[in-house]
């Protein structure tokens, strides 16, 4: 039996099996098997072209956003609208065949936007350019899943399944489970919270499926068996995804309203240039970028040339961004903005910066 057949057998069995206390271990085991076969599918294929000519685009700018979606949902139209790059758009499917990069300039940041070929059901198993597209998506900071608002929710469900099956987890954080394989000593199993979905026996069964007999496992939250499997498989990618419903010029106001209220969703029309500014605002939040302005003593802040950083960046991060050796010469900094109680306030290296703060660094 081929891997694909094995996968579909297991999927069938999972859907046939009723979920209850008696089948809990059986289901856990099936899920572990499923994850194992899917991992095998993802191993680099020997077939020609799998490497993906035209997909090797250099990372540039402050962040990377990938456009994922079915054919003809408007990905290329969107890229051409938001960047100075033109990507061919047409009414037929699979107009785009490679990865086309453009740059969105927003709040002083350069955001690399990648237009990609449309993907379809079965993409994760190599249909169309699915594998190459998904490989690029894994390198992005945020994925825009572009959907055709006239097509209902089918596309979203299918694409989520495709990404899920190759280990991409959307809009969830990494499970808080400590896991470390050991040379000996059996299984050391602990949890800091009561567990309602996993047990020592189930954990042991799943580990045996991966031929792991000695390990340290510490649950720090009430995780599911699937989350535990994600942790032992290890190569999962946790990324933010914005669901963008395009072509709202073609649907009723009621329908627009319904889609706009869905979590992580933004409705737009590229054709009529509707709501694009709002999408940029949301994208900025999802990318968690902030802009910091530097200032020299006795001079005005340099508002023309901000430093783009990730939310949570400290004064030390800012020092590194300005100059490699600055942190070692650091005495203190003066900060003006929302991160401080007073403006200016004298702060140390660990102070956390906020969007549009101004900083003056004083050296030893």
Ligand X SMILES: Nc1nc2c(ncn2[C@@H]2O[C@H](COP(=O)(O)OP(=O)(O)OP(=O)(O)O)[C@@H](O)[C@H]2O)c(=O)[nH]1
Q: Which residues bind ligand X (CB under 6 A)?
A: 69, 71-77, 89-91, 93-96, 117-118, 246-247, 249-250, 269-271
Nearest to 275 by CA among 149, 109, 118, 92: 149
Question: How many Cβ atoms are within 10 Å of 300's Cβ, its own excluded?
Answer: 9
Phi, psi of 125 (to 5 degrees): -95, 10
Residue 126: name its binding partner from Mg ion, K ion, ligand X, none (Cβ under 5 to 8 Å by kind): none
- Asked whether position 76 contacts Mg ion by CB under 5 A, the answer is yes
CB of 337 to Mg ion, least distance (A): 41
The rounded distance, in Å, linking the Cα atoms of 341 and 347 is: 11
Nearest to 153 by CA among 34, 272, 251: 251
The secondary structure of 71-121 as a DSSP string is: TTSSHHHHHHHHSS------SSS----S-EEEEEEETTEEEEEEE-----T
Please give the DSSP secondary-structure letter assigned to residue 47. S
Closest-by-Cβ residue to K ion is: 95
Q: 91 to 150, contacts with Mg ion by CB under 5 A?
A: 95-96
Instruction: Confirm or reject binding of residue 339 to Mg ion (CB under 5 A).
Output: no
Report the residue number, 133 or 313, with the smaller CB distance to ligand X. 133
Distance CA 15, CA 10 (A): 9
Task: Provide the minimum distance between the beta carbon of 137 and ligand X in the complex, in angstroms, as a whole number.
Answer: 14
Tell me how far apart the terminal alpha carbons of the chain are, to the nearest angstrom. Answer: 69
The smaller minimum CB distance to ligand X, of residues 43 and 53, is found at 53
Q: How far is the CB of 148 from Mg ion (least distance, A)?
A: 13
Binding mask 46-75 for Mg ion (x = CB under 5 A): -----------------------------x
Work out what residue 236 binds among K ion, ligand X, Mg ion, none; the CB cut-off runs from 5 to 8 Å by kind. Answer: none
Distant-in-sequence, close-in-space partners of 181: CB < 8 Å, separation ≥ 6: 212, 214, 215
CB of 71 to ligand X, least distance (A): 4
Nearest distance in Å: CB 72, Mg ion = 8
Q: Please say which residue, 246 or 339, places its beta carbon nearer to Mg ion.
A: 246
Compute the distance between CA of residue 190 and CA of residue 188 in angstroms, rounded to an integer.
Answer: 7
Selected from 14, 29, 85, 95, the binder of K ion by CB under 5 A is: 95
Which residues contact Mg ion (rule: CB under 5 A)? 75-76, 95-96
Which residues contact K ion (rule: CB under 5 A)? 72, 90, 95
């Amino acid at each position: 039996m081929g891997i694909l057949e094995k996968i579909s057998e297991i999927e069938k069995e999972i859907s046939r099996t009723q979920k209850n206390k008696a089948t809990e271990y059986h289901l856990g085991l099936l899920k572990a098997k499923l994850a194992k076969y899917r991992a095998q599918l993802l191993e680099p294929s020997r077939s020609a072209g799998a490497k993906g000519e035209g997909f090797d685009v250099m990372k540039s700018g402050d962040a990377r956003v990938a456009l994922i979606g079915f054919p003809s949902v408007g990905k290329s139209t969107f890229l051409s609208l938001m960047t100075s790059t033109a990507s061919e758009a047409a009414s037929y499917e699979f107009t785009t065949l490679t990865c086309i990069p453009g740059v969105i300039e927003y709040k002083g940041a350069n955001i690399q936007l990648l237009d990609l070929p449309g993907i379809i059901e079965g993409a994760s198993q190599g249909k169309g350019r699915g594998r190459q597209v998904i490989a690029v998506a894994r390198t992005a900071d945020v994925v825009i899943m572009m959907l055709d608002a006239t097509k209902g929710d089918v596309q979203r469900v299918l694409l989520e399944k495709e990404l899920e099956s190759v280990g991409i987890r959307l809009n969830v954080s990494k499970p808080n489970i400590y896991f470390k394989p050991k040379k000996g000593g059996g299984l050391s199993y602990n949890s800091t919270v009561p567990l309602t979905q996993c047990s020592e026996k189930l954990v042991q069964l799943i580990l045996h499926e991966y031929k792991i007999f000695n390990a340290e496992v510490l649950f720090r939250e009430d995780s599911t068996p699937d989350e535990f499997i994600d942790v032992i498989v290890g190569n999962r990618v946790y990324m933010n995804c914005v669901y963008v419903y395009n072509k709202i010029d073609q649907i009723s106001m009621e329908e627009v309203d319904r889609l706009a209220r869905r979590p992580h969703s933004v409705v737009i029309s590229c054709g009529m240039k509707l709501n694009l500014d709002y999408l940029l605002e949301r994208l900025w939040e999802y990318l968690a970028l902030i802009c910091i302005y530097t200032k020299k003593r006795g001079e005005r802040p340099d508002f023309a040339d901000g430093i783009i950083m990730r939310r949570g960046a400290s004064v030390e991060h800012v020092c590194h961004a300005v100059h490699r050796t600055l942190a070692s010469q650091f005495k203190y900094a003066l900060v003006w903005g929302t991160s401080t109680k007073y403006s200016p306030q004298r702060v140390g290296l660990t102070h956390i910066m906020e969007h549009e703060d101004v900083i003056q660094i004083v050296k030893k």
